[in-house]
Every structure is written in structure tokens, then in C-alpha cells.
């Protein structure tokens, strides 16, 4: 439950489920006759000590847990209702445990106490002395963590000495804390439905039933073993599923690599075929050009810009003036080429 309610409110909320929605009337209440509820302060102390041990086992670095309030109690409430025209009695009891706590950084808590001491120094000399003592304790006896741990150790006795929570749940002092949390649970519900009126014999039977009802240790052991077995089976299943995933992933990776290798091989073969075809085409095209040039009595020459031009095959050397294709000349010039003229190379 996220919002704490007392046992009486809890019982009032579940009555309609047992009376099938019939209107009901509250008659009386008393304490639930459970053996350990005869000494509630001791049960509260045990409850807080157990919670402290669990918090310490799961402690996060730099943070502690301060327990502010705790409740261990049981309540019985008697209701009357009518079903199929018959007056009935419902005796309903519940055990409730609740804990209010804060996650706290010890250094922040000490600083908050120091600030409070300065702010409230004029209000109470005794209070100032107490806070000053806490501040010295912070510095001389284990620092922030020592002070926080001593506060944890004292919380069980402080809470157990109170017959009721020191403050209403949800109103604890959380200076220096991140936030306050409330955990509460119903550890047992005991219901007796009977025709009205409620007799002493039926009340005694209910009390005997509640006091004597205990979970068989053999059943508890079987439940723990079953839970452990299920946990082990789940671990084995998870490991098996992970191993299967690894095998499938390895197979998929291998298949993909083989596909990529085959694709690269096919691409290389295709490229070789295309290159060979292109070279053959270029050779064939040049052969046709040479045949055409021989038939027409010309040779092809390459200009400086990469384009080609033709000139009579009777010329040994061909020159072009200023890249002008109309100004071409065949001459027997040696090394001294006139200015503005350039020699063209014959196309291979």
C-alpha cells in the first residue's frame, strides 16, 4: 500500500468483499488476541532491529537509513449485516506492520543540524547545547557516519518506548534526508461469519482460532525449497536460452560472412568480365577506326584538350597553331617549332 491507513480503516474497506456488497454496521472492536501482541513494545523493537539489519545489509555508500516511526498491532472489529433476510455477524481481525524511514546522507544531516543550531540558538539554551554536543560528536566520534550509525542504533529503543508513533506517519523530521518513505503490510486477516447474535462461545472460538493458527514449519520449508528450486530452474533456463542465442547468433554471423564473401567473389568475377568486355570493345572500336582511316587516307591525332582530329596520312608530323583546328600544318620542322604552334601526337 502506498498510503498508510490504520487497521480499523483497512478492515472497514474489506468488509464489503466479505458481505457481498450488503450494507453493514460497525458494532465494537478490541485488540487482536495474538500471542506476540501481548508485548507490543518488544515486538516493535524486534521489528525495527530487523529492519535496521536489512537496511545495513543493503546500505549504499555515503547513505544511511533513519527509521522514524514503527507500528506492530492487531485489531478486531465486529460488524452486523443482513443476508437473504437473516441477520448475521462478521468478526474481522487484521495484523498490521508499518515502518516510516528516510535515506539520509550523514554529512548533510550534520550540516542541517548545525544550521538549525544557529537558527534556533536564541530559542532554547538547552537545545543549543544539545545540538552543539551533536556537532562535537560528529567531529570527534567517527565523523558524519559515526553519528548517523549511533542514531540508527538508538532508533529501535526510542521507537519501542512509545506506545504510539512519535509523530503521525508522514510527518517525521527529515532534515538532511532525500525523502521519507512508508512501508506497511497486513501480515494476517482472520474472519468469522455467523448468525446473530454474537455469543461468548463463538467469541472464545474465534480467539482460540486466531491464537492457535500458525504456519506449519514443514510447509514453510517446502515453500522455501520450492522457491529455491524454481529459482534454480529459471537460472538454468536463462543460461540455456542465452547459450541458444549465442549459437544462433554465431550461425547467423557465419552465414552472413559466407554470403558477403560469396557476394565479393561474384562482384569480382563480374567486374573482371565487364573489364575484359570493355577492353575488347575498345580494341574492336579502334580497329574499325583504323580501317576507316586507312580507307580515307588519314590519321587521327590527339589535341591538348583530349579531343581528336584527322590529317592526311602523307604527313610525317602534324602541328596546330593556338589550338585552332583550321590552322594545321604538316612540315619537316626539326626541334625548332615556330612560336604558337604545337605538335600533335598520333592516336594509338
> How many domains are there within the chain?
2
Q: Considering only residues 148 and 41, tell me which one the structure prediction assigns the higher pLDDT.
A: 41
Is 149 in the same domain as 19?
A: yes
Final residue before a domain boundary, out of 172, 198, 224: 198
- Cβ count near 170 (within 10 Å): 13
Q: Which of 71-80, 101-110, 292-301, 302-311 is the least confident region?
A: 101-110
Indicate the SS3 state at residue 95.
strand
Is 295 in the same domain as 146?
A: no
Asked if the structure places residue 252 within a domain, the reply is: no
Mean pLDDT of 268-286: 85
Q: What pLDDT, on the 0 to 100 scale, is given for residue 248?
A: 92
Angle at 273 between CA 268 and CA 274, to 5 degrees: 95
> Is the pLDDT confidence value at 288 over 80?
yes
Answer whether 319's CB lies under 8 Å from 333's CB: yes
* Residue 171, H or E segment: none
Q: Do the strands 24-31 and 318-321 form a parallel or antiparallel pair, or are they unpaired?
A: unpaired
Angle at 146 between CA 143 and CA 148, to 5 degrees: 105
Q: Considering only residues 345 and 120, tell me which one the structure prediction assigns the higher pLDDT.
A: 345
Give the whole-number percent of the chain exceeding pLDDT 90. 1
Give the pLDDT band of residue 140 (cuts 50, 70, 90). Answer: very low
> Is the pLDDT confidence value at 19 over 70?
yes
> Is the pLDDT confidence value at 339 over 70?
yes
The sheet that has 24-31: what strands, in order across it? 24-31, 63-83, 86-105, 177-195
Q: What pLDDT, on the 0 to 100 scale, is given for residue 139?
A: 47
Give the pLDDT band of residue 111 (cuts 50, 70, 90). Answer: low
Q: What pLDDT, on the 0 to 100 scale, is given for residue 6?
A: 78
Answer whether 298's CB lies under 8 Å from 317's CB: no
Final residue before a domain boundary, out of 198, 222, 251: 198
Mean pLDDT of 70-83: 87
Residue among 150, 174, 194, 49 at smallest CA distance from 102: 174
Q: Which of 129-143, 253-267, 320-334 holds the top average pLDDT?
A: 253-267
Cell of 284: 574492336
Q: What is the mean pLDDT of the chain?
A: 76
Give the pLDDT band of residue 1 (cuts 50, 70, 90). Answer: very low
Which structural domain range is residue 325 located in? 291-346
Answer whether 99's CB lies under 8 Å from 47's CB: yes
Q: Which residues contact 209 (CB under 8 A, 6 or more apart)?
A: 190, 192
Is 180 in the same domain as 328?
A: no
Final residue before a domain boundary, out of 179, 198, 217: 198
Q: Which of 65-74, 130-139, 210-219 is the least confident region?
A: 130-139
> Is the pLDDT confidence value at 148 over 70?
no
What predicted TM-score, i.e. pTM, was given to this entire model?
0.45
C-alpha span between 93 and 87 (Å, rounded): 20
Amino acid at each position: 500500500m502506498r498510503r498508510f491507513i490504520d487497521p480499523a480503516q483497512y478492515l472497514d474497506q474489506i468488509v464489503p468483499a466479505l458481505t457481498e456488497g450488503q450494507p453493514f454496521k460497525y458494532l465494537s472492536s478490541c485488540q487482536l488476541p495474538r500471542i506476540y501482541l501481548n508485548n507490543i513494545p518488544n515486538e516493535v523493537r524486534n521489528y525495527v532491529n530487523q529492519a535496521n539489519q536489512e537496511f545495513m545489509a543493503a546500505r549504499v555508500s555515503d547513505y544511511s537509513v533513519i527509521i522514524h516511526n514503527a507500528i506492530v498491532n492487531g485489531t478486531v472489529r465486529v460488524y452486523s449485516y443482513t443476508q437473504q433476510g437473516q441477520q448475521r455477524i462478521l468478526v474481522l481481525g487484521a495484523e498490521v506492520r508499518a515502518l516510516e524511514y528516510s535515506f539520509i546522507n550523514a554529512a548533510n544531516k550534520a550540516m542541517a543540524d548545525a544550521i538549525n543550531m544557529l537558527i534556533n540558538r536564541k530559542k532554547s539554551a538547552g537545545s543549543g547545547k544539545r545540538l552543539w554536543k551533536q556537532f562535537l560528536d560528529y567531529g570527534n566520534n567517527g565523523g558524519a557516519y559515526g553519528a548517523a550509525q549511533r542514531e540508527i542504533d538508538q532508533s529501535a529503543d526510542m521507537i519501542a518506548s512509545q506506545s504510539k508513533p512519535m509523530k503521525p506517519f508522514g510527518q517525521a523530521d527529515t532534515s538532511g534526508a532525500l525523502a521519507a518513505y512508508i512501508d506497511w503490510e497486513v501480515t494476517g486477516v482472520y474472519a468469522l461469519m455467523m448468525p446473530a447474535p454474537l455469543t461468548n462461545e463463538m467469541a472464545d472460538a474465534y480467539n482460540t482460532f486466531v491464537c492457535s493458527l500458525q504456519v506449519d514449519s514443514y510447509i514453510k520449508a517446502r515453500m522455501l525449497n520450492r522457491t529455491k528450486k524454481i529459482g534454480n530452474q529459471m537460472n538454468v533456463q536463462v543460461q540455456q536460452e542465452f547459450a541458444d542465442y549465442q549459437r544462433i547468433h554465431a550461425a547467423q554471423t557465419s552465414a552472413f560472412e559466407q554470403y558477403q564473401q560469396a557476394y565479393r567473389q561474384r562482384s569480382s568475377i563480374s567486374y573482371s568480365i565487364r573489364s575484359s568486355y570493355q577492353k575488347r570493345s575498345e580494341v574492336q572500336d579502334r580497329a574499325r577506326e583504323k580501317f576507316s582511316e586507312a580507307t580515307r587516307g588519314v590519321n587521327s591525332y590527339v589535341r591538348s584538350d583530349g579531343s581528336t582530329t584527322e590529317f592526311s596520312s602523307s604527313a610525317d608530323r602534324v602541328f596546330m597553331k593556338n589550338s585552332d583546328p583550321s590552322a594545321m600544318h604538316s612540315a619537316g620542322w626539326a626541334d625548332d617549332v615556330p612560336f604558337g604552334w604545337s605538335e600533335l601526337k598520333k592516336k594509338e
